[in-house]
Amino acid sequence: MGRILVTGGAGFIGSNFVHYVLENTDDSVTVLDSLTYAGNRASLDGLPSDRFNLVVGDIRDSNLVDGLFADHEQVVHYAAESHNDNSLHDPRPFLETNIVGTYTLLEAARKHGNRFHHISTDEVYGDLELDDPQRFTENTPYNPSSPYSSTKAGSDLLVRAWVRSFGVLATISNCSNNYGPYQHVEKFIPRQITNVLGGVRPKLYGAGLNVRDWIHADDHSSAVLAILNSGVIGETYLIGADGEKNNKEVVEMILEQLGQPTDAYDHVVDRAGHDLRYAIDSSKLRSELGWLPQFSDFAAGLSSTIEWYRDNEAWWLPQKQATEARYAVQGQ
């Protein structure tokens, strides 16, 4: 039985990880989260109080972080500014949290000798052509496109440097696009589901041919636990579930599952610098750590995600209007 400190545990993937750990292990969890617009206490409702607590605070607060690292052997670092569109309009919080925040945590891990796992993204590798037979591997050169992905690339490089120069006991994982419950309505899949539920047509950026490699958040969580328990210090692992789909296909599936005509969507202004395609080769994780995704059927995973949003309007409705007001200003 261990105690895991989870930064960003009130966000989408972090909260799914917390639920996963509490349901599938005997470990206890402390969440450190500053509850930005993307963090939501309600995502952690109902967790057992003897095994879970939430500390509201900033990962850049070195005194707070120092105390928490002294008390926890293992740390999983999810906290970040995570949305590409926001990073195009105001990059500064991305530099602050993703770079300075990660640096603050690494200094604490260096002092206290924690086992540190850094959560990152496939976007650090840039994008692929639609017809490229290659997928990203751990050896693909870094080539980030957006302010968001460049700060994530920067944070990965800080972790590598702290491993090599200071012996920090860290691993890194770079995962593809997640879907599932508790995802903020600014993101593609929940935005379109909640649009259709509210009688609004889905919005596709540009032609809608950009490809993302979808993975269910629970598969991401099981991979992170495998790396935390058995990963080799200093190594990077790519996490993906062979889930490539273009955005148009995903919108059509959402419309179909919600009983609407599959062409009832609008094309809107494209994202600046929009990455064309992401695709992950996760063979290293599968062969070295024996990990396998459980959600191989995207249509079924999407259907249960739609059900979750249908059943949990009280969770997302308070954020919907402000989110759509931001998009409207951008013509999206």
Of these, 33, 58, 123, 127, which contacts ligand DAU (CB under 6 A)? 123
Catalytic residue among 33, 81, 123, 218: 123
Active-site pick, 20, 78, 125, 148 = 148
Annotated catalytic residue within 122, 156, 186, 275: 122
Ranges within 265-294 binding ligand DAU (CB under 6 A): 271, 278
The pair of structure tokens assigned to 257 is 């599952």
Give the contacts of 287 (CB within 8 A, at least 6 positions apart).
Answer: none
DSSP lists the bridge partners of residue 216 as 179
**Residue 116 contact among ligand DAU, ligand NAD, none, beta carbon within 5 to 8 Å by kind:** none
**Toward ligand DAU, which CB reaches closer, 34 or 210?**
210
d(CA 331, CA 91) in angstroms, rounded, equals 19
| Pick from 156, 160, 137: nearest CA to 148 | 156
> Which of the stretches 28-36, 58-66, 81-89, 164-172 binds ligand DAU when contact is defined by CB under 6 A?
81-89
Active site residue 123: yes
**Which of 6, 18, 44, 79 touches ligand NAD (CB under 6 A)?**
79
Site size for ligand DAU (CB under 6 A): 19
- The yes or no reply on residue 80 touching ligand NAD (CB under 6 A) is yes
Point out the residue whose Cβ comes nearest to ligand DAU: 121
Contacts of 82 (CB under 8 A, 6+ apart): 11, 12, 38, 148
Q: Judged by CB under 6 A, does residue 205 bind ligand DAU?
A: yes
Contact 295, 219 (CB under 8 A): yes
Per-position x/- string for 206-225, each x denoting binding to ligand DAU as judged by CB under 6 A, each - no binding? ----x-x-------------
Structure tokens at 115: 């086992």
The residue ranges that bind ligand DAU (CB under 6 A) are 82-84, 121-123, 176-177, 187-188, 191, 203-205, 210, 212, 247, 271, 278
Residues annotated as part of the active site: 122-123, 148
